[in-house]
Amino acid sequence: MLTVLPLAALVVWGLARRRRRAGSPTAAAWRTSLAEVGIVAGTLPWVWLTLLPASHGAAHGGVSEVPIRDLLGMPPYQIVGNLLVFAALGFLAPVRFAALASIPRILALAAAGSILIESAQYAMQLGRVSSVDDVLLNTAGAGLAAVASRRWWRVRPDCQPSCSNRDTMIPSGPRT
Mean of the pLDDT values across residues 45-64? 78
Mention every residue, 6+ apart, whose C-beta is less than 8 A from residue 166. none
Given a contact cutoff of 8 angstroms between Cβ atoms, the answer to whether 159 and 28 are in contact is no
Give pTM, 2 decimals: 0.81
pLDDT higher than 80, residue 132 = yes
pLDDT of 176 strictly over 60: no
Q: 137 falls in which pLDDT band (50, 70, 90)?
A: very high
The pLDDT of residue 114 is above 50: yes
Distance between CA atoms of residues 136 and 134, nearest Å: 5
Indicate if the alpha-carbon torsion angle 91, 92, 93, 98 is positive or negative: positive
Q: How far is CA 120 from CA 2, 67, 74, 136, 161, in A?
A: 27, 19, 21, 17, 38
